[in-house]
Structure 1
Amino acid sequence: MIKIVFKLIGKGVFLIGFLIFSISALAQDKDFRLIPWPNQLEKGKGEFILKASTSIVPPSIKDKELAELLALRLKSLTGYDLKVANSAAVNNVIRFLADEHIKGGKEAYQLEVTGGNVVIKAAKPEGWFYAMQTLVQLLPANIDQRVANLGVRIPAVKIADAPHFQWRGLMVDVSRNFFSKEVIKRYILQMSKYKMNVLHLHLTDNQGWRIEIKSLPKLTEVGAWRVPRTGYWRNQKAPEAGEKATKGGFYTQDDIRELVAYGQKHFVELVPEIDVPGHSLALIASYPELSCTKGAQQVLAGDPWNASRTNVVCAGNDSVFVFLEKVIDELAGLFPSKFIHIGGDEVSRAYWDKCPVCQQRIKDEHLKSSEELQSYFLKRVSKIVLSKGKQPLGWYENLPGGLPDDMAVMSWKDDKGGILSSNKGQQVVMTPAAYTYLDFYQGDQYLENAIFSVNRLSTTFQFNPIPKGIKEENVMGGQGSLWTEQVPNERKLQAMTWPRAFALSETLWSGPAKRSWSNFIDRVESHLPVLDKDTVNYSRYFYDAIVSGVRGADKTLLINLSTEIEGLKIYYSFDDTDPDPYYPVYAGIPLSIPKGAQNIRVITYRNGVQVGRLMKIPVTELERRTPVK
């Protein structure tokens, strides 16, 4: 999806000491580093000693696989090869129990750690699974072999927990850049550790069609490949004469079945998206007869907004709907999810305005405009989805003909779409770009390939899926959405997701009211070594200084420095040397720029240790950002 650039109101996302009310201080004891924070936590006395002889007792033989999953995770952390069996042992046991009286739904659980045992109670396997994730987080972050030989100490605690929202999602755009099924599996595993439960796959767009449709083989023979290009997304060179399309890939239907099964094992639901009628250049390159122009096209290797490229299917052509029914029929057979996402956003209706077939459709259906034709198209595709036993889901668009009544809506531009749709009785998933778009840059725009806007960790933490005026009972939850125009590999995919997904996990599981920024940051920092151990990349830009300009009384440029988190010292220089703790420290007063200075260099330290990047920002860049009013 091509996004608009958002201004954050009041620019209040960079507050030092950022404050969000917590409930009863959430009892967020520093002995516990849990993400997301549980509903209820009561610290106990003593500790459980996990040993090589500890056994894991599943609730029944049919649930043994779940206990084995816990044993495998504990082995990776401790080296212990724990026995999974119907043990009669009384002490030093991790025991799963079925309890139909647990309140909070199928994902709710109770976890009690005492000196003798660990007891996990839940009504359904989902609850046991999430209790397992909490239990693993209770272990020390780093366990060396010497500690493991003596036993691993887990603090005594009693936890009662359940999620606030049913949809706790992340979206990955696999069209702009393709990621193998192995990468997606690792992504599923990581998100499941933090109780995220929906992976929305954006499978098609202008830059690639990523799923095998057996009845329409050209979609992957042609649509899954483009000419290779490396670097910044915009203004990439067009394909040269005779240049082969070798970059890309797709998931076979067996790959999808494997991913779905892996997701089910980790209680992550995979939701497919086929984006129509716009964002369809890869489809049209495969089957050009489905466009208004019917001319030959090539899969895009860069920025799509070029008038010569037809990326919209013909809404007046009945064969388009026959085609889409074939696609949706095969999708419905592959994905157990009740939802199929049909896109529906950012349609360039200029093609329809010039197309006699589309204009005839407008006349025949008594429509007033091409905008109403977009509504007609979405309603017709929604009926196809419903006929396959699935519920349509789409991006919110403000159309005069309205969105289909049976379509669930993703509110992406802001909160307004979710508010309007929820009050009409539609289910909504909140993913407002300013807070949840994970392709937005996390640090200084000058130092990143910043094509849109900023979304710092503190910004994501402010995400509220229940804005004023929304009908809360129709809010399924929310998600972070990662468009991958500038995400060419797995390491960047990870760094754009973490730690911002921690903030999403916290909000969507614990609820928007139960948040404490300072405590959250402490817990985030305690999880960074865990990510390191799991070889998961992450951004450290929340440690960076924030450099901004302000105009003095005489309109001269002054420089403000700040940080997202408390306790950091900012050192700076104007003389093009690299600052360290022996340089001037920022004292909170805007800095005058010395005559002749061309750059400011800043760095952050905490307790004498460098934590942020050394940043070099040209004065001309700050002049550009700070216009004279």
Structure 2
Amino acid sequence: MKLEHLFQLGLAFSGLAVSYARLLTIPTTPFNQLSGDYSLNEVKQIIVDSRFANSVDKEGQTLIPPTLKQFAETFQTDLKTSVGLDISLSEAKQPTPDSIFITIQKSTDFKDVAGRPTSEGYKLDISNQGVVISGASPLGAWWGTRSLIQTAVVGGLKLPQGSGTDAPGWGSRGAFLDAGRNYFPPEFLIEMCSYLSFFKQNVFHVHLSDNLYVNTEIYTQERMKEIYAAFRLWSDDPELAGLNKRANESYTRSQFDNAQRQCARRGVTVIPEIEAPGHALVIGQWKPELTLQDMSMLNISHLDTIPTMKKIWKSFLPWFHSKTVHIGADEYEKGYVQDYTRFVNTMDEFIRKESSHSMRIWGTFTPSQGANVNKDISYQHWEFSQDNAYWDYIKNGYNVLNTDSTFYMVGKWSDSFPQTLNKSIIFNGNPAGGAFAPNVFDAKNATNNPPRSNPKVQGHLAALWNDYGPNSTTVTEAYYSFRNGLPALGDKQWGGDLKEHEYDYIFERLHSAIPGQNLDRAIRSNSKTILSYKFDSTSKVKDHSGNGYDGTIRGCKINRSAIEFSNNCYLKTPLTSKGRNYTLSFSVNPSESTGTLFEGPDSALLNGYGSSSNVTFMSGGNPYSLNYTLPLNTWTDVSLSGKGDHTYMKVSSSGKSETMEFLTKMGINGERFVWERMGIEAPLETVGKGFKGMMRDIVLKDE
């Protein structure tokens, strides 16, 4: 489709006949076109307005806002990554011909849906002299760079001349991730922030403590002490010794600090949540004396409960760089409304006294039920069985963040909730007609939704919960829950007017240009064959695919077109992981049922696990084993295939073939088990570490 046609799409659906109403980006960008185009190929430099180079946005959600210069530096890197332009960066007070000039402009035009000024607004001007991005703040200018890159990607570096003023309708836009019941490495958090940022989403809410469901009807207290529960922050504070028992599945202060800073450099604020007094089994296992009969519920009336929570928060408040922190306060035991209110208000007063943070809680008890929490606390609505956000909170003067179960996802399996975002509801989810928006708490009954311009609606986050624990999903499977729908939702969270078929047309094109991440685990290749090792030389491992991904031998020998593994030698490749839709084929002849066949940062294929000789895939520290053992001292042809969210292994030996699928066994609330599929990346970084035997004909293909 030609550039002109792409912009005409925006025009046609706006009903205008003269000027283009918007750029076809995600979210859409208001834009009035003049005649002519401008090519980014003409740009000679990026210029940061020296008068504002060190300015920061003091109105946003983070306590560590980047400067205008820092945002420009990230933009410079993104231009190279996304559209292949390597452009120099400098400072000056004025633009020069063929430059991208980034500046600050104080304007009354930057307003949200409630008519309030917002620091996230920007103006985009494109002429035959270059581009000017004028932000209400450095953050606003940053969002302008997202529009510019997307327009360049859609138009093949050609930009329409004209101008547009843009601002988000709501201040909080993004996603929620349950990291309490499944661990996500800090690198994954950073990549997710890059994903969010490209579509102008500015909040990543990370749930840092939780537990599997405590089935009080069948669990004894001894059993409750063994249920999976986790606290993801690792502290050396002696007063918290024993709270976190999972050092390898935790964030140190430096790791969490780096993640927050890397996210902030892309305009995304990490909102941390430590859950209590419900969903607090990890605290109950640490201090059983503080719990009710259900050990996931803290006994608020116990004299040490609130002091214990104050100790936890005092230790970790200095870690957090968001203006808002979340204490959970979700699904507490009914009948304890007054205790609950005292807990919430006491924690609010403590947090405000100890820090500059404000506080948020989940909607649990309403004013009509007797809850009387401080009005400076914001609510996060998630389910109508708990509250009615409009009538219970907004009508009573509370600010509310919308995380309604309309877009509530549960990783891998649920008998109540989906695993991916519903695109149809995104584009048609307003019961009053039209697309979803953050003021739509109820997608079925319009009377439960405040007006679009209601100032008490803070915004919207889509939530992914991991109700069934760490072995239910891999790390990247969480990303795939968000992948196809979250950008579309970002358009609505911002206030855009993208149509569903427009989104379907441009999404994959834009997706391939998202900088700062490779969540698809894509690998560049000149053909379907990504890598091919024939081991036809005794001195080196040449890649016969034509991609140049030659391997490096670390102590191994090549003999008769096979590589021999012994004495902890291995083969190193320049690759790490291959995402979905791949086939990794090889022939293997093990002398022992031990060692690692292939390993990468996302997964490892093992020739036996623990005392078992069964072939096992490891991902996220969890084993997924087949009921199959590779025969010793015999050549077996193996084909490992990732097909969408399924992973298979086909083996052929002695004239017989068998295909098996890697599955996970999920425990469902202590009542039953469910076997489900696993989508696991191909591990490629090393081959044969600890393995004893031979391999030949290693081939990786994109399917």
- The whole-number CA distance in structure 2 between the counterparts of 1:416 and 1:106 is 30
In the TM superposition, what is the alpha-carbon distance from 1:214 to its structure 2 partner?
A: 4.2
In the TM superposition, what is the alpha-carbon distance from 1:250 to its structure 2 partner?
A: 1.1
In the TM superposition, what is the alpha-carbon distance from 1:102 to its structure 2 partner?
A: 5.3
In the TM superposition, what is the alpha-carbon distance from 1:80 to its structure 2 partner?
A: 3.1
* Pick aligned residue for 1:136 from 149, 154, 179: 149
Residues 1:503 and 1:59: Cα distance change in structure 2 (over 3 Å):
same
Counterparts of 1:211-250 in structure 2 under 5 Å? 211-215=233-237, 218=240, 221=242, 223-225=244-246, 249-250=249-250
In the TM superposition, what is the alpha-carbon distance from 1:348 to its structure 2 partner?
A: 3.9
Matched, 1:527 2:510: yes
Conserved 8 A contact 1:341-1:392: yes
Does the residue aligned with 1:263 lie in a helix, a strand or coil?
helix
Residues 1:428 and 1:89: Cα distance change in structure 2 (over 3 Å):
closer
Q: Counterpart in 2 of 1:35?
A: 26
Does the residue aligned with 1:323 lie in a helix, a strand or coil?
helix
Kindly indicate whether structure 1 or structure 2 has the higher relative contact order, using CA contacts under 8 Å at least 6 residues apart: 1
2:409 aligned partner, one-letter code:
L
* Pick aligned residue for 1:404 from 344, 368, 373: 373
Conserved 8 A contact 1:195-1:505: yes
* Pick aligned residue for 1:193 from 191, 198, 203: 198
Conserved 8 A contact 1:34-1:137: yes
Conserved 8 A contact 1:465-1:478: yes
Deviations 1:382-424 (A, max 9, x none): 3322333432211111352214133210110048224420111
Q: Counterpart in 2 of 1:476?
A: 458
* Pick aligned residue for 1:45 from 35, 40, 43: 35
Q: Counterpart in 2 of 1:557?
A: none
- The structure 1 segments of at least 4 consecutive aligned residues displaced by more than 6 Å after TM superposition are 25-31
In the TM superposition, what is the alpha-carbon distance from 1:59 to its structure 2 partner?
A: 1.0
Counterparts of 1:158-557 in structure 2 under 5 Å? 158-206=163-211, 207-215=229-237, 218=240, 221=242, 223-225=244-246, 249-292=249-292, 310-348=295-333, 369-388=335-354, 389-399=356-366, 400-406=369-375, 407-414=377-384, 416-434=388-406, 436-439=407-410, 449-454=413-418, 455-461=421-427, 462=429, 463-467=436-440, 468=447, 469-470=449-450, 472-485=454-467, 488-510=473-495, 514=497, 516-530=499-513, 535-537=518-520
Q: Counterpart in 2 of 1:156?
A: 161
- The whole-number CA distance in structure 1 between the counterparts of 2:122 and 2:491 is 17
- The whole-number CA distance in structure 2 between the counterparts of 1:531 and 1:423 is 40
In the TM superposition, what is the alpha-carbon distance from 1:502 to its structure 2 partner?
A: 1.4
Q: Counterpart in 1 of 2:113?
A: none
Conserved 8 A contact 1:382-1:404: no
Conserved 8 A contact 2:95-2:101: no
Conserved 8 A contact 1:165-1:476: yes
Conserved 8 A contact 1:64-1:84: no
In the TM superposition, what is the alpha-carbon distance from 1:249 to its structure 2 partner?
A: 1.0
- The whole-number CA distance in structure 2 between the counterparts of 1:26 and 1:428 is 39
- The whole-number CA distance in structure 2 between the counterparts of 1:524 and 1:28 is 24
2:119 aligned partner, one-letter code:
K
In the TM superposition, what is the alpha-carbon distance from 1:480 to its structure 2 partner?
A: 0.8
Conserved 8 A contact 1:57-1:94: yes
Conserved 8 A contact 2:71-2:142: yes
2:338 aligned partner, one-letter code:
E
- The whole-number CA distance in structure 2 between the counterparts of 1:26 and 1:390 is 49
In the TM superposition, what is the alpha-carbon distance from 1:198 to its structure 2 partner?
A: 1.1
* Pick aligned residue for 1:112 from 108, 122, 125: 125
- The whole-number CA distance in structure 2 between the counterparts of 1:517 and 1:481 is 21
In the TM superposition, what is the alpha-carbon distance from 1:36 to its structure 2 partner?
A: 0.5
- % of aligned pairs identical? 20
In structure 1, the gaps of 5 or more residues are 1-20, 144-151, 226-245, 294-308, 350-368, 441-447, 539-611, 615-629
Does the residue aligned with 2:39 lie in a helix, a strand or coil?
strand
- The whole-number CA distance in structure 2 between the counterparts of 1:28 and 1:323 is 62
Conserved 8 A contact 1:27-1:41: no
Q: Counterpart in 1 of 2:99?
A: 93
In the TM superposition, what is the alpha-carbon distance from 1:470 to its structure 2 partner?
A: 2.6
Conserved 8 A contact 2:44-2:99: yes
- The whole-number CA distance in structure 1 between the counterparts of 2:165 and 2:17 is 13
In the TM superposition, what is the alpha-carbon distance from 1:213 to its structure 2 partner?
A: 4.2
- The whole-number CA distance in structure 2 between the counterparts of 1:26 and 1:35 is 23
Q: Counterpart in 1 of 2:46?
A: 56
- The whole-number CA distance in structure 2 between the counterparts of 1:431 and 1:186 is 22
Does the residue aligned with 2:455 lie in a helix, a strand or coil?
helix
Does the residue aligned with 1:188 lie in a helix, a strand or coil?
helix
Of 122-131 and 376-385, more deviation after overlay is shown by: 376-385
Deviations 1:71-90 (A, max 9, x none): 10011134332111136873
Counterparts of 1:64-103 in structure 2 under 5 Å? 64-86=69-91, 90-101=96-107, 103=109
In the TM superposition, what is the alpha-carbon distance from 1:346 to its structure 2 partner?
A: 1.6
1:121 aligned partner, one-letter code:
S
In the TM superposition, what is the alpha-carbon distance from 1:24 to its structure 2 partner?
A: 4.8
In the TM superposition, what is the alpha-carbon distance from 1:284 to its structure 2 partner?
A: 1.6
Residues 1:177 and 1:25: Cα distance change in structure 2 (over 3 Å):
farther
In structure 2, the gaps of 5 or more residues are 1-11, 55-67, 111-117, 212-228, 430-435, 441-446, 522-643, 647-703
Conserved 8 A contact 2:394-2:400: yes
Structure with greater proportional helix content: 1
Residues 1:497 and 1:216: Cα distance change in structure 2 (over 3 Å):
farther
Residues 1:53 and 1:94: Cα distance change in structure 2 (over 3 Å):
closer
In the TM superposition, what is the alpha-carbon distance from 1:492 to its structure 2 partner?
A: 0.9
Residues 1:91 and 1:56: Cα distance change in structure 2 (over 3 Å):
same
1:253 aligned partner, one-letter code:
R
TM-score, scaled relative to structure 1: 0.65
- The whole-number CA distance in structure 2 between the counterparts of 1:215 and 1:534 is 34
Conserved 8 A contact 1:208-1:223: yes
Conserved 8 A contact 1:408-1:428: yes
1:413 aligned partner, one-letter code:
E
1:412 aligned partner, one-letter code:
W
Aligned length: 447
Does the residue aligned with 2:380 lie in a helix, a strand or coil?
strand
Does the residue aligned with 1:171 lie in a helix, a strand or coil?
strand
- The whole-number CA distance in structure 2 between the counterparts of 1:31 and 1:466 is 23
Deviations 1:533-582 (A, max 9, x none): 953349xxxxxxxxxxxxxxxxxxxxxxxxxxxxxxxxxxxxxxxxxxxx
Does the residue aligned with 2:458 lie in a helix, a strand or coil?
strand
- The whole-number CA distance in structure 2 between the counterparts of 1:181 and 1:26 is 49
Does the residue aligned with 2:463 lie in a helix, a strand or coil?
strand
Deviations 1:329-356 (A, max 9, x none): 233322232222111112245xxxxxxx
- The whole-number CA distance in structure 1 between the counterparts of 2:360 and 2:313 is 13
Does the residue aligned with 1:473 lie in a helix, a strand or coil?
coil
Of 185-194 and 330-339, more deviation after overlay is shown by: 330-339
In the TM superposition, what is the alpha-carbon distance from 1:479 to its structure 2 partner?
A: 0.8
